[in-house]
Structure 1
Amino acid sequence: MRRATRASIGAAAALAVLVSACSGSATPSATSASSSRHGSTIPGPSPDPSTSASAAAAPRTGRFTISFAGDVHFSGRIRTRLNRNVRTVFGKAEPGLRRADLTMVNLETAITTRGVPQAKEFHFRAPPKALTALRDAGIDVATEANNHGADYGNQGLHDTLRAIRRSHFPVIGIGKDADAAFRPFTRTVNGTEVAIIAADQVQDETTLRLFSAGRHKPGVANAYSPRLISAVKKAKAAGYLVIVYVHWGIELQTCPSGDQRALAKKLSRAGATAVIGTHAHVLQGAGWLPHSGAGTYVAYGLGNYLWWESFDNDQDDNGVLTLTFAHHKVVGSHFAASHLANSGVPVPAHGAQKRRIDHEFAADRRCTGLSATPPR
């Protein structure tokens, strides 16, 4: 992230049957009062043992919904909200996060109170209770495969992995090694086995130099690694509906970059049913890849969602994208527009503001090569 002003802001594990609770990413199951909405990070061909009975009883073609929102962190005014009341951080945004069968965001921060800030202009960190705030808001899974997950060095990364493990809140795209970082979150939803994989394509020190997860090295899942495509293929071959959440794009550009478009096509060919993205700090276009046999839905950028600063321009526009799935395809999409309030909360938009943001989001599709309707 570059310096923020009004004009600018500025593969997978070998599909084992059981994920150890001491892995560097999320633990196998959530244990909070809301754990019925949470899944696990079991990447094997067998469904999650905690949901296999319902999976056997429910039809595999059942319809279900998954909602996605963009970048979230807990700095500045959001830290003030977190310290005041961990249960109400998301405010008026919370009802919109609870409507779908599953909800996911990008958590763009290290989870630590220690460590050395890295050689970059912006550093984000939050205490472990930030994970509680996500759960309390109705969010089921987050990705930390981004350029801020390791903002506080090795100490901060170690603390982040420990906080995730202790919280029992599913966080993907980061781990004690590449196996853990590329390990999918899995969940059986109305009879369909879903796998979500996360990776970071932003070319900064996090991915390119210091904190790309390796064989015996903690870090984030690197989207340039062949393990990403391999992870998608393995999950698809194991019978999962595969979704990939990628941190990518060029800041403040509403049109996807060549790297984004190329990776989206590769992920589609590998078997991804949906590809979701963030990082550009503005909305980017969404729709179906034409001539895609898998009918892949791509949302290139969902913008800043719960954010530390407002800019009085399109950087404050965001929303919750809800996809409807059936027969292993995306059969419908709905974008619930919202706009950053002075509190940092994405407040649902209404009236003229909603019409403006809806038009903006639809217009962004023009330079994507995506279709507004599913391929036939």
Structure 2
Amino acid sequence: MEMFMLPCVYASGQNDTLSLLFIGDLMQHDAQLDAARRSDGSFDYSACFAEVSSEIKRADIAVGNLEVPLGGKPYSGYPAFSAPDEWLYAMRDAGFDVMLAANNHCLDRGTEGLVRTIEMFDSLGFDYAGVYRDSVERVERYPLLVEKKGFRIAFLNYTYGTNGIPVTPPAIVNRIDREQIRRDILSARRMKPDAIIACMHWGIEYELLPERADRELAEWMLSLGVDHVIGSHPHVVQPIEVVDTLSDSEPHVVVYSLGNFISNMSRLHTDGGMMVKLLLRKTPEKARLAGCGYSFVWTSRPVLSGKGNFIVYPSQVPLDELNTAEKSRMDLFLTNVRKLFKRYTKGINEYFLERK
């Protein structure tokens, strides 16, 4: 379908609208640790989000996929991550509101690291979904209900697995299990939210198109009352579909993979990602999707830029801010992903960030 677009509009100042921004994988590899480490042993990530923080802060609710635990020292990158607490401070300062934590790396530092991550969320005032200290906490905090500007948004979050690492009871990691998801959707519906959004850690790494199983799972969740589906894990961007074939005839956004927002990955298609914006509007009956769009981002690494840290750039960054090597890699990412989206994406268009 082709639906109306509000490419760059947040309808700021209008109390009948709510903007949501979904942001892809927030990784922390060894090279990122090295770049941010200071002589006193602390870490400085202030440069990482400087070029995109205004867009993150502009959203009423900004949601990020934190794909590393805050497990304490010793800090480490792939394959068993543990990021410094400063990494979460940087996300708070950049404007993130909600952290998604159900992913295949959430147990990289075991259950102790998972619990410490939850403690850090709580200490910095983040809303979060996907991991819990025990069943009591899950009942109290899940589905995650976020209230803003008179809107009530219910978030669900699940992962396909945890790299074979078991969670030690009573801690809980939300796994993709249809019977559990069905019960959780019913719980979300009883909250009478304006929208239910399922955030899924699924798919096959580095595949540019979603698996049939992901499509079927998305359709099944929509049929049970989920309004929109946001996916992550493949570390590459996958196409988006706006579905309007259900009995309610309402548009439902399905994002199969947001890709990497920031990482040290450099193989083809992995050095960039996207932000997806949803605009909801209050009506007498319910909140309706008033607009949506996606905006690509690309991560420059010190090995390319010669600068001190990793920097996330919007797709329309002025060329004089990048050197020849950076321009070449960014152009390659954008050319490939726009070609992919032109062929497969339906019902949603690219928008461009307002420059600071």
Once the two structures are TM-superposed, the CA of residue 179 in structure 1 deviates from its matched residue by 5.4
Q: Equivalent of 1:231, from 184, 198, 218?
A: 184
Counterpart of 1:283 (choices 237, 246, 255) is 237
Which range moves more in the overlay, 256-265 or 289-298?
289-298
Confirm or deny that 1:64 pairs with 2:27.
no
Please report how far the alpha carbon of residue 355 of structure 1 lies from its aligned counterpart in structure 2 after TM superposition: 6.1
**Coordinate RMSD, CA, aligned:** 2.9
Residue 126 of structure 1 and its aligned partner are, at CA, apart by: 0.9
Aligned match of 1:103: 62
TM superposition shift of 1:137: 0.6
Q: Which amino acid aligns with 2:129?
A: I
Match of 1:324 in 2: 279
What percentage of residue pairs aligned between the two structures are identical?
Answer: 22
Aligned residue for 1:242? 196
Q: Is residue 2:158 matched to residue 1:199? A: yes
Letter paired with 1:328: A
Q: 2:86 matched to which residue of 1?
A: 129
> Which position in structure 2 is the counterpart of 1:81?
36
Q: Does structure 2 conserve the Cα–Cα contact (< 8 Å) formed by 1:319 and 1:346?
A: no
Match of 2:51, SS state, is: helix
- 2:227 maps to 273
Measured in 2, the distance between the counterparts of 1:165 and 1:350 equals 35
Label 1:226 to 1:69 Cα distance change in 2 as closer, same or farther (>3 A): same
Task: State the SS of the aligned residue for 1:363.
Answer: helix
Cα distance per residue 1:289-329 (max 9 Å; x no partner): 24122532110001011112323x21123121111112423
The residue matched to 1:272 in structure 2 has which SS? coil
Residues 1:177 and 2:177 are matched in the alignment: no
Q: Secondary structure at the match of 1:91?
A: coil
Aligned length: 301
Mark the runs of 5 or more structure 2 residues left unpaired by the alignment: 1-13, 303-309, 318-329, 350-356
- Aligned-partner Cα distance in 2 for 1:92–1:284: 23
Structure 1: where are the runs of 5+ without partners?
Answer: 1-57, 366-370
Partner of 2:211: 257
TM-superposed deviation, 1:72: 0.3
Q: TM-score, normalised by structure 2?
A: 0.76
Distance across 2 between alignment mates of 1:78 and 1:69 = 19
SS of equivalent residue, structure 2 residue 223: helix
Q: 1:258 & 1:177 partners in 2: Cα distance?
A: 33
Q: Which whole-Å CA distance do the structure 1 matches of 2:177 and 2:136 have between them?
A: 15
Q: Structure 1 residue 115: deviation in Å?
A: 8.5
Normalization by structure 1: what TM-score? Answer: 0.72
Distance 1:165 1:188, change over 3 A: closer
> Matches of 1:203 and 1:280 in 2, distance apart?
14
Q: Confirm or deny: 8 A CA contact 1:199 1:247 kept in the other structure.
A: yes
Cα distance change of structure 1 residues 115 and 233 upon mapping to structure 2, 3 Å threshold: farther
- Select the residue among 89, 100, 118 that pairs with 1:161: 118
The farther-off stretch of 165-174 and 316-325 is: 165-174
Q: Does the 8 Å contact 2:106/2:162 carry over to 1?
A: no
Q: 1:190 to 1:260 in 2, by over 3 A?
A: same
**Residues 373 and 134 of structure 1, relative CA distance in 2, 3 Å threshold:** closer
Match of 1:130, as an amino acid? W
Residue 273 of structure 1 deviates from its aligned partner by 1.2
- For 1:65 and 1:359, locate their aligned partners in 2 and report how far apart those are by CA, in whole Å: 27
1-structure distance, mates of 2:162, 2:238:
19
1:361 alignment partner in structure 2: 341
On the 8 A contact 1:110/1:150 being kept in 2, the answer is: yes
Contact 1:324/1:332 (<8 A) preserved = yes
Secondary structure of 1:339 counterpart: strand
Q: Which amino acid aligns with 1:346?
A: V
Distance 1:345 1:178, change over 3 A: farther
Q: Is the 8 A contact 2:300 2:313 kept in 1?
A: yes
Indicate whether 1:348 and 2:314 are aligned: yes
Displacement of 1:105 after TM fit? 0.9
Aligned partner letter, 1:309: M
Partner Cα separation in structure 2 for residue 202 and residue 296 of structure 1? 26
Shift of 1:191: 2.2
- Aligned partner letter, 2:264: W
The residue type paired with residue 231 of structure 1 is D
Q: Measured at CA, do residues 129 and 115 of structure 1 come closer, stay the same or move farther in structure 2, by a change above 3 Å?
A: closer
Contact 2:74 2:82 in 1 (8 A): no
User: Which residue is equivalent to 1:10?
Assistant: none
Query: 8 Å contact 2:22–2:64 — kept in the other structure?
Result: yes
